[in-house]
Structure 1
Amino acid sequence: MAKKKEVKIAGSASASMGDRSISISEDGSLVVTNEYGNSASYEIGVHSFDALWSQLWQFVKDGQH
């Protein structure tokens, strides 16, 4: 039997460079803001965390080449 996954959010985190930022809020959403103040929010749930992690990790690997 597969173990049930849980996503735990403890606090919040953010990073910024110039006028751009990315943050994870306490309500469990990822918020990306560009230099013009436009933002996009991505709700992190149990089923979406694996896909989000995979996409972010691929972005990091692609950025190394």
Structure 2
Amino acid sequence: MAKKKLEDPKLEGNATMSFGGKSISISNDNNEPVLTVINEYGNSVAYRIATHSFDSLWSQLWQFVKEHQH
């Protein structure tokens, strides 16, 4: 049985969700999806989402949360 080739992620448009001064958004930067998280103090972090990198993204997000707990 032939393996089906996975397509590269494709983002059309932007999505943002905000609550209590915090927001999370997914946007398109030069045809590459970018996840941006902003806290209530205006601090932000952005992660580029490359093909097959969701495990890495998940790991980096948890590291960010651990480092910024108060």
Of 5, 20, 26, the residue aligned with 1:3 is 5
User: What does the per-residue CA deviation read over 1:18-64, in whole Å, with 9 as the maximum and x for residues that have no partner?
Assistant: 10000001221000000000000010110213x24xx4xxxxxxxxx
TM-score between both structures, scaled by the size of structure 2: 0.65
- Structure 2 spans left out of the alignment, 5+ residues: 59-70
> 2-side partners of 1:48 and 1:5: how far apart?
13
Q: Tell me the percent identity.
A: 50
Higher strand share: 2
The correspondence of residues 1-40 of structure 1 with structure 2, limited to 5 A, is 1-27=3-29, 28-40=33-45
1:41 aligns with 2:53: no
Paired positions, count: 52
> Where do 4+ consecutive residues of structure 1 move more than 3 Å?
none
Letter in 2 for 1:23: S
- Structure 1 spans left out of the alignment, 5+ residues: 56-65
TM-score between both structures, scaled by the size of structure 1: 0.69
User: Aligned Cα RMSD in Å?
Assistant: 1.5
Q: CA deviation at 1:2?
A: 4.9
> 1-side partners of 2:52 and 2:39: how far apart?
26
Higher Cα Rg: structure 1 or 2? 2
